[in-house]
Amino acid sequence: MNASLQRLFVIGLLVPIEALVAGVFNLGPTYPVESVLHPMGYTGQPGQLTVTVCIDPASPFAAQASAPLERALQTWNALTGEGPNRVTGSSEIPPGSADFESVALHELGHCAMGLGHTNLGSSLDPIQVLFYYHATKSFEGPNGVFNFDSIGADGSWGTGDDLRGDDINKNFFNVSTNDPFALPLPSDIDSSTYSVIIGNLPGGDTFSANGSFVVGDTLGYPDTGAVMFDRYDAQVEARKLAADDEATVRYGMSGLDEHENSLDDYTIHLEFLDATDVCDIPITFAPILPNPPLVLGRCLPQDELISNNHYRLTDVSLTFNDAAPWWFGVSPDLIFSDGFESGDTSAWDDTVP
């Protein structure tokens, strides 16, 4: 791989289907700003939603991907935001490699949980992306262009002192703190504690702060970033949710009335099925173009209206790039190797009685 491609990858690319472009709990600029996207199967009824995931057995890397994929499913099932949750230059991951568990966790946020990117990222044009990658997810306002009027006194895009002109915020924020990393989270996460409307920001703030790891550094949370940040760097281990990831999912789980502890609340359980079974989210490894940059994963979603501004995912599929330099981790059955269990020490440098 070209050296310029060894560090920056694009993850979580959502390809338009019938003009559907997912945002942070939203479905594109033609949808109401307050729109919420729910997982497959949600109808407004309470209870547990089970979303099943499987890997095409004929797909490259199907065997290697199973264990890290199951760990990613378990992480979403636990739904526990924490920090720090990001290891840069992980000693476990070979240089230039992409950690599959980290990328799978991000892609499942799209395909299974209904989440979008917390930052503008690759939605910008090539010139803007160099400067505004970490700016908060939004859509163009009435003037038809993104506005980046001021980075604010903290010198970081994506924080609460940004001036964004008439841009339309798409990132749900804590109305008391506008802090995407603060723990513990409020006991109730719903329309009483979170909002997407800029007018509901706490006093002095001018735009919604997002879960970018650069924002984390700026706000005093080093090595912390939302899983749903739109970028992956080689040799990064990002296998744990941040507070922002947990809060956004929980907002959706408050149901159609957007009030937690009411009759339409639900929970989400992701389940791995054998590849021969029919499942909700089939996974395959295949070419993803264009390259460069190397796109690691692509979620193909469709949606349908449930009620008012609430939608659910339908007919989701997920593809990982078969040309990516994947690191799947060490298989559990390789913990004891080189004859340890059989007593064959011929592969050892020294035999200790």
Q: What is the DSSP string of 23-57?
A: -SS---TTS-TT-EEEPTT--S--EEEEEEEEE-T
| Cα four-point dihedral sign 333, 339, 343, 345 | negative
Q: What is the pLDDT of residues 127-176, one digit of tens each?
A: 999 999 999 999 999 999 999 999 999 999 999 999 999 999 999 999 99
Residue ranges of the alpha helices (H) in the chain? 62-78, 100-111, 126-132, 213-218, 243-253
Q: What is the reported pLDDT for 11?
A: 55
d(CA 18, CA 336): 50
237 within domain boundaries? yes
Pairing of strands 36-38, 138-139: unpaired
Q: Which residues pair with 302 in a beta bridge?
A: 314
d(CA 302, CA 22): 10
28 within domain boundaries? yes
351 within domain boundaries? no
Enter the DSSP assignment of 73: H
89 within domain boundaries? yes
Q: What is the reported pLDDT for 342?
A: 34
Residue among 274, 326, 276, 318 at smallest CA distance from 297: 318
Q: Which residues pair with 47 in a beta bridge?
A: 266
pLDDT at 312 over 80: yes
Residue among 23, 45, 26, 46 at smallest CA distance from 34: 26
Residue among 265, 302, 266 at smallest CA distance from 281: 302
What is the count of structural domains for the chain? 1
Range of the domain at 56: 3-334
352 within domain boundaries? no
* Cα dist from 17 to 21, 32, 42, 279, whole Å: 8, 18, 21, 21
340 within domain boundaries? no
Q: What is the reported pLDDT for 85?
A: 97
353 within domain boundaries? no
339 within domain boundaries? no
Enter the DSSP assignment of 300: E
Q: What is the reported pLDDT for 300?
A: 85
